[in-house]
Amino acid sequence: MSTRTGPTGEAAPAGARTSGADREPEAAGQAAGGAAAGSTGSGRLPLLDVLRGLAILGTLGMNIWLFTAPGAEISVLGMDPPTLASAAADPAPGVVAEALFRLAMNGTSLSLLTLLFGAGLAVQYRSAHKRGLPWPGPYKWRALFLFFEGLVHFTLVFAWDVLMGYAVTALVAAWLLARGPRVRSAVAAVAGSVHVAAMAAATALLMASPDAAGGGSGGPDPEAVRLYAEGGYLEQVLVRLENVAVLRIEPVMTFGLMLTLFLSGVFLFRAGAFAPGAQGRRLRVRMAVWGLGAGVPMKVAASLLGSDGFLVERYVAAPVAAIGVAGLVGLLLDRARRTGPVAGALSRLGRTALSGYVLQNVIAMVACYGFGLGLAARFEGSGPWWVIGLWAAIGAVLLAGSALWLRRFRHGPLEAVQKAALSRTAR
């Protein structure tokens, strides 16, 4: 029999009623919330939308270097990107700018997006609970559809897609939502500990093997460089499919991290960390202080190790910093008396996050690869400034596009397709 959790988080039979403690957290503490942080008339939490929009721009800020590099997505494992260590050795403005840009983006936005996906899972659970539906019930079809969307995205657009990994993790996390809080806490602790131990061991191997740094090669594979500078679109699709085992290694390697962040997002949502009110603000203060206070120094220290510290920076320090970013943004919105243009633009992008994530990669692919504008080959060796400019330009398109789209439609295009495809499963 399907189950769902009651007000204490323990498993409860589907259809059973629970007390008000299990109701949406924004219902508590409304009076003290600022205009920008309060809930909307539709029951949405504006902070979640703003954070999603910020995370989408941040993932683009990291992925843009893959699209613009020689060999693009195929040569990523052999790249030796600028770090604080390389910037200290060569303090040229371009090197320093790229190192700082990567430091801010590397892993942080991806971890933030994963955390928010967990919060979204809690929203889905709450919705099913209110409608008296079993859990996970129809949600499993949503996760499977997301996996299909990720598979299409991986095949046709971007080799380092995150949607497939999110879908698999969501199925496991959804099952855990029907278990008690002790079970979820234990799973998160074990998964997180195993992940940190694995990253520490891998980093130790990198540091002990000089040839492993930077992929152990003298540069990108010439055939990969040719493929993305001169090759056709279908040829690139075939290469992704031929190398699927290697290109899908990140979600396999980081499954424990994703599961931990999913469950952390659920916990923070239920604790009211994204809701208005005094309790939410206290949680956001703690998130900002501890997350940034621990995460930023860890990221800096890992970056000072050079390429040897990449795994620690991206997969250990960045998740901690992401929690701090979520808290800091929430505190900034708490202080705002109204939703300003920046928060409004990010919120609209956050409401169309799935569409924005796919669209940014489609635009970058067409702009950078040889079958499109070929900007990557045209500006190769010209420094990082054009890459940062391209990121800003695509980001502006996403922000403007989401605003225009939501003037006429309630959901983003891919969100609407998903909603229509899954409408029968909710009946």
Tell me the per-residue pLDDT of 18-48, one tens digit each, with 9 for 90 and over. 333 333 333 333 333 333 445 544 456 789 9
DSSP string, 100-129: HHHHHHTTHHHHHHHHHHHHHHHHHHHHHH
Nearest residue to 260 (alpha-carbon basis) of 314, 185, 322, 201: 185
pTM: predicted TM-score of the whole model, two decimal places: 0.86
Is residue 54 situated within a structural domain? no
Other CB atoms closer than 10 Å to residue 310's CB: what's the count?
A: 24
Share of the chain above pLDDT 90, in %: 71
Is residue 231 situated within a structural domain? yes
Q: What is the mean pLDDT of residues 192-207?
A: 94
- DSSP H helices, 157-180, are 163-177
Q: What is the pLDDT of residues 269-310, one digit of tens each?
A: 999 999 988 999 999 999 999 999 999 999 999 999 998 999
Distance CA 135, CA 340 (A): 38
Is residue 249 situated within a structural domain? yes
Angle between helix 139-156 and helix 413-422 axes, rounded to 10 deg = 140
Is residue 224 situated within a structural domain? yes
Is residue 34 situated within a structural domain? no
Looking at every residue in the chain, the average pLDDT score rounds to 87
Instruction: Report residue 142 as tokens.
Output: 């949503």
Residue 216 pLDDT: 47
Instruction: Report residue 45 as tokens.
Output: 């939490």
Q: What is the pLDDT of residues 380-408, one digit of tens each?
A: 888 899 999 999 999 999 999 999 999 99
Q: What are phi and psi of 4, to 5 degrees?
A: -150, 160
Angle between helix 278-304 and helix 255-271 axes, rounded to 10 deg = 160
Nearest residue to 268 (alpha-carbon basis) of 124, 127, 128, 119: 119
Distance CA 149, CA 104 (A): 28
Domain hosting residue 136, numbered range: 59-426
Is residue 17 situated within a structural domain? no
Residue type, 365: M
Domains: count for the chain = 1
Is residue 188 situated within a structural domain? yes
Is residue 53 situated within a structural domain? no
Q: How far is CA 1 from the centre of its chain?
A: 33
The answer to whether residue 15 scores a pLDDT higher than 60 is no
Residue 291 pLDDT: 97
CB distance 318 to 196 below 8 Å: no
Instruction: Report residue 230 as tokens.
Output: 């001169």
Distance CA 186, CA 176 (A): 11
Burial 364-402 (b: 16+ CB within 10 A, else e): bbbbbbbbeebbbbebeeeebeebbebbeebbeebbebb
The answer to whether residue 413 scores a pLDDT higher than 80 is yes
Partners of residue 11 on adjacent β-strands: 5
